[in-house]
Amino acid sequence: MNKSRKAVFSVRLIAVVGALAMLASGCGARWSPARERQAIEQEPGPGTGDSVYGEETPGTDLSQSPGEVVSSPGEIAIPVGSSSPGTGTGPGKTPVPGATSVNPGPHPGVTDKEIKVCYLVPKTGATPLPTNWESGANLYWDYMKKKGRTIFGRNVKIVIKDTKSQVDTGLSVARECVNEGYFTFVTLDGFAEAAGIGKFLDGKGIPNVLIQASPDASAPSRANTFAITIDHRVQGRLIADYWTNGDLKGKKYAVVREDFTELIPGTEALKQRLAEKGIKLVAEERVDGDGNDFSSTVLTLRKADAQVVWFYGGPAALIKLSQQSHAAAYDPVWFGNSISWNFDMAAQLGNANGALKDARAFSPWVALSSPAANTYKTAYRELYPNETPDDLGLVGWGVGEVLEAALQAAGPNLGYNTFRNAFQNLNITPETWCPLRFGPGVRVGTTSVAEYRISTDHWVQVGTFRTSF
């Protein structure tokens, strides 16, 4: 890279690195041990005796769908090109048994014409989400309304509240939405923030959705919280299987994780699965994701001759680490877990000089380049003609698909009880999101991921969603 191009790259990196920091493997914002304890201890919900998720694969894999070109054991095919995503009778969607026979229960924010939903995300603070994520969150519901599609005559109206990546602020704005009469909640934030908000809502008996699973999302006390991405322990085992059953088989493996205790279970699951195969990591490093000097980590990895490295953290730290590694002429295959750095913006910045060449990642949503994203891109161009659809907006669209399916399944008599029952029995294959299979005691709804490979400045999806490798 010449000097002028390198200078431009550095400016772009500094400009967006804060925005990327939140879009992480579940680490999210940084917090102190005191804030972590606050999130774990505050507002506990009632116990229900539910089992802990992570040791089984609920539901049945779906058959091959038109438009898919890859089919192999362990894959779940997703329907592509549907003209009406999210409808209760669409491809891959099943009615929820007993939804209409359940006493609806409380239904704040629900009228004959409207359902009020509160989204809790860091719009500002140390690690804000890019503002175009908000466009995607609104897009799904605006597009439904424009097309005349409703949920039993009702339209969804969302408000997006700013958690500022802080536990106390997240709890405060959650209380605001409760007081303002919102029916349900969607939370995208760091582990501590998500845990604190989820516990508060559980204590109120309010069903809510976590975009990523917090460490205690499967706990018996969390009967009102439903996570729509994969458990990290399950994922750790999947990564080990991916490494040892494909073109990376026989390589030397390492893990670099951001320094959070919440990431230990996933790391240990990987190590255990590798040990079952007679393999040990050649290096295991912890880093401060807010740091800037990763030279010692690069030196350790290089001395260990690590050829494949799982960077278990967010894109901002990964970009800095990979750039310093590339400058030292050391370029392993970088690997990312689901909801980590599988964003095109990370590819554009991190791989501008080839530092992420051959990088791989798992994802809970389809790639922007996938045919399954066509409906989203069409809707985006129709409602935002002067903007370009991106994969950040795609995340908001996919969450809309999932939420609408649950609201449709709850039936016309919508209330906390019917909505909770609908989610607890939900079995759907969204157009842009991973298949979700909830069931008795199962409130982390998927064991599947899509494989991504980097291609210059964007990610390409390889095949479809899989439950094994």
Q: Delimit the domains of the chain by residue range.
A: 3-24+232-363, 33-64+85-226+368-447
Check if the beta carbon of residue 429 is closer than 8 Å to that of residue 435: yes
Give the DSSP letter of residue 445: -
What are residue 115's DSSP bridge partners? Answer: 110, 156
Structure tokens at 465: 């969603």
Please, which residues have CB within 8 angstroms of residue 252's CB and are 6 or more apart in sequence?
Answer: 282, 304, 305, 306, 307, 308
Cα–Cα nearest to 253, from 214, 302, 307, 293? 307
Which CA distances in Å does 367 have to 232, 363, 451, 461? Answer: 21, 8, 9, 6
Task: State how far the Cα of 53 lies from the Cα of 70, in Å rounded to an integer.
Answer: 28
The sheet with strand 308-312 has its strands ordered as: 75-76, 458-466, 449-455, 360-363, 333-336, 308-312, 253-258, 283-287
Structure tokens at 342: 């599988």
Amino acid in the structure at residue 337: N
3-state helix, strand, coil in the chain (%, to 5): 35, 15, 45
Q: Is 362 helix (H, G, I), strand (E, B) or coil?
A: strand
Task: State how far the Cα of 84 lies from the Cα of 463, in Å rounded to an integer.
Answer: 23
Task: State how far the Cα of 267 lies from the Cα of 276, in Å rounded to an integer.
Answer: 14
∠ Cα 76 79 83 (to 5°): 160
Structure tokens at 385: 């003609």
What are residue 255's DSSP bridge partners? Answer: 284, 310
Task: State how far the Cα of 34 lies from the Cα of 446, in Å rounded to an integer.
Answer: 31
Cα–Cα nearest to 263, from 232, 285, 221, 293? 232
Check if the beta carbon of residue 29 is closer than 8 Å to that of residue 189: yes
Task: State how far the Cα of 118 lies from the Cα of 158, in Å rounded to an integer.
Answer: 6
The CATH fold assigned to 3-24+232-363 is Rossmann fold (3.40.50)
Please, which residues have CB within 8 angstroms of residue 159's CB and are 6 or more apart in sequence?
Answer: 116, 117, 118, 119, 177, 180, 182
pLDDT at residue 257, rounded to an integer: 96
∠ Cα 155 389 450 (to 5°): 90
- Block means of pLDDT (10 residues each) for the chain, 469 residues, are 36 41 43 39 35 29 27 31 34 46 90 97 74 80 96 97 92 97 93 86 95 75 91 94 97 95 92 98 95 97 98 93 98 95 93 96 96 96 93 93 97 97 96 95 93 97 96
Residue with tokens 């924010």: 109
Amino acid in the structure at residue 165: S
Prediction pTM value: 0.81
Domains 3-24+232-363 and 33-64+85-226+368-447 share a fold: yes
pLDDT at residue 195, rounded to an integer: 82
pLDDT at residue 124, rounded to an integer: 80
Task: State how far the Cα of 191 lies from the Cα of 229, in Å rounded to an integer.
Answer: 13
Check if the beta carbon of residue 50 is closer than 8 Å to that of residue 441: yes
What is the CATH architecture assignment of 33-64+85-226+368-447? 3-Layer(aba) Sandwich (3.40)
pLDDT at residue 131, rounded to an integer: 66
